[in-house]
Structure 1
Amino acid sequence: MPRGYISIGSNIDRDKNIPASLQALEHRFGKLIVSSIYETEPVGFSGDLFYNLIVGFDSDLDVKEVAQQLRQIELDRGRTRDCQKFTARTLDLDLILYGNLVLRDEQLQIPRDEIERYAFVLEPLAEIAPTLKHPINHISYAELWDKFDKTNLKQKRITPSWMLTK
């Protein structure tokens, strides 16, 4: 059964949308492996700060079915599909890894390039899957994070108030 990893982000009603997304993901996929939450500055536009995190889950569903489930959760939380790439959003759920699958088609890219491009994806992934190796370059996520240029890092680990009540 492959383990999938999902990058989660929100900067609109993030204290409602992130917990709701975790609940929806757990309902659909079962037990989740959840990283810390990182507060990050927007990339490519000015706006409110994001919450970003990574969750892992095990599933025997087809990868396209998983992607469809993620799209539905986004829509359920008010996401519109007509928005530009770099804009504020209620919820962004991206399947970044699915086992050792390498897939490039018009609908899906796995592994996602964002893993190596953005600290808000790589740091939480390295936190929960440090020894896991990237399916293309075969370097562990901990090693990728160690080598990542942190010169202008604009994120920090936080504990939102809704996590304190758990």
Structure 2
Amino acid sequence: MGLKGKLTAQVEMKAGGDLFHELFRHKPQQIPHISPTTIQGCDLHEGEWGNVGSVYFWKYTHDGKQQVAKDVIETIDDEKRSITFKVVEGDLMKLYKAFKGSFHVETHGGIDLVTWTLEYEKLNDDVEEPLSLLSFCIKLAKDIEAHHLKAA
């Protein structure tokens, strides 16, 4: 298999895709309160919340292990309700030469769908495809949805 790859998953968002995009765009620091078993912290290291070029530091639990990631917001498109994060430091960089995570929200037949995309370049052929990280993203989306449906 090649060292570069791309994984995609799509999740229906009954709570509304706008809500999902706005949370990541303007209030990511609230995500640990919404999904505490998944994300334990989101701190702003540089820039301003929700701006391209801003640097976030995440504390999260993946596969039962406490992990960290420092990422830069690479792109934001409010019309497409999309954000791309480029990981620049942290546990993922022990396995990947490059790693980006992005999502966008689209509406089909009145149903909002959140599409997660992970793009990566593994350090070597021994590194597994990040399927469990894609599952992590799906769980996070479902936690956000459940939180907002409960609050409504």
TM value normalised by structure 1? 0.29
Higher strand share: 2
- Structure number having the greater helix percentage: 1
| TM-score, with structure 2 as normaliser | 0.31
